[in-house]
Amino acid sequence: MSQIEILRDLYPCVHCGLCLQSCPTYRQTGDESEGPRGRIVLMQGIANQLIEPDDFGAVQHLDSCLGCRACEPACPSGVAYGAALEKTRSAIAKKRPQPWAARVLLSLMANPRLRSPFFTLSRVARKALGSWNPARFIHPAVTLLAGTRPHRITTAISTPPEARAQPRRRKKVIVFTGCVMDGLFRHVHDATRRVLRANGYQLIEARGQGCCGALHAHQGDLKGARGLAEANLAVFQRHPDCSIVVNSAGCGAALKEYEDLLGQTGEKLAGRVFDITEFLMEGDLRVGASLPMVVAYDAPCHLEHAQGVRAQPRKLLRSIPDLELIEVPCSDQCCGSAGVYSILNPAMSAALIESKVKSISKLGVEVVTTGNPGCIMQIKAGISRSGSDVSVTHPVAMLDWSYDRAGFYDGVM
């Protein structure tokens, strides 16, 4: 990766320090080298060949960065911190091999022949274990089996015929399937499709989709990320008139930034990509049945900071009758999942989720909702380890539940 590109991304930085309090690792440690400003100095040193890419001290501080990008909206100068971090990690990867755990996980995500049986076994294990939740005993990083559905309200709701009538058909959409969402959260994909159909959208199945490449890019494997991006681009180019709807914040951010990997063709694709909450709130969203419960929203970093999608998830949840929405304190602070971060940096990851779970425990909510698979797993595992039975699920799953209770799917889906 060109040193000039790294310097260009970082050039606007005036070292004002306004980013520091937005950074979870700086807030935990108070160490300047564990904050954006200190890491920018290290990245500039590597780009200027003043620091070796495999320098232990520099790499240690750069590896401990979550890549949550909370520093970007806090920066008055518009520093492209996330892009610079990925390019710097790419330079480091050429000098220092990836940790074995990262290599294994990235290989799994990139190869459907490996990924599919791995996730199948995970789903089977989750069903077999039933109420026994390993999240109580092991670190959230390896908890792929935690439950994700809210407690069900079984009372049926009657709705007038005009409310149950389907709206007219609107534009065509593709649901991005990805890897983790498709493997472990297929029920969220199903909910997404039902909600889109209930709002009159025509779903197109785009076969051949795969991993978005976000995990690879975050770890500095830009070549691997580019290969995955090219494969997805080839699929989506067969459906040029379709919007691409994403229910994973990390995947959505990656797809919207394919320009960095693919140039102009990636930029054109990005204009077709929408987070599911962003997409639904652009139209006239149907109102479903009552969900009389207290729900807390926790914002995924790559939705809040990278995509700038803030109001839409909250508006979507508030559109559900009788649902009382509460914000998780410091919702904009990373939960510590951050792709493979919780595996490679378990101590910091555990400290961050512990802090968030303590905040959640004081709210008295029944459900926590967030729009990213890693966040769902991390928060659910942390809650389970605390001994609580609060459910964790996706915002679109809550809307789907409301629609189901309203009878929108009766005899249709």
Give start and end residues of each alpha helix (H) in 199-288.
214-218, 222-236, 249-256, 259-262, 264-270, 276-280
Residues 265 and 294 in one domain: no
* One domain, residues 147 and 181: no
Which CATH number goes with the domain that contains 298?
3.40.50
Give the domain-ending residue among 234, 256, 280.
280
Is residue 114 in some structural domain? no
Is residue 260 one of the residues assigned to a domain? yes
Whether residue 327 sits in one domain with residue 231: no
Asked, for residue 113, whether it belongs to a domain, the answer is: no
Same domain membership, residue 317 and residue 252: no
To the nearest 10 degrees (0 to 180), the angle between helices 395-406 and 311-318 is 20
> For the chain, how many structural domains are there in total?
3
pLDDT digits (tens, 9 = 90+) for 368-392: 999 999 999 999 999 999 998 899 9
Q: What is the DSSP code (8-state) at residue 326?
A: E
316's CB contacts (< 8 A; 6+ apart) are 277, 280, 281, 285, 395, 396, 399
Name the DSSP class of 201: P
List the domain range (segments joined by +) for residue 137: 131-154+288-406
pLDDT over 50 (residue 154):
no
Burial grade of 111 (CB within 10 A; 0-12, 13-18, 19 or more)? middle
- For 102-140, the pLDDT digits (tens) are 888 888 888 888 887 777 777 676 666 544 444 333 334
Of 230, 249, 280, which marks where a domain is finished? Answer: 280
Clarify whether residues 369 and 263 are in a common domain. no
Please check whether residues 316 and 264 belong to one and the same domain.
no
Instruction: Report if residue 86 sits inside a domain.
Output: yes
Same domain as 276, residue 182:
yes
Round to whole Å and give the CA distance between 113 and 212: 16
Say yes or no: 171 and 148 in one domain: no
End position of a domain, from candidates 232, 264, 280: 280
pTM of the model: 0.89
Q: What is the mean pLDDT of the chain?
A: 88
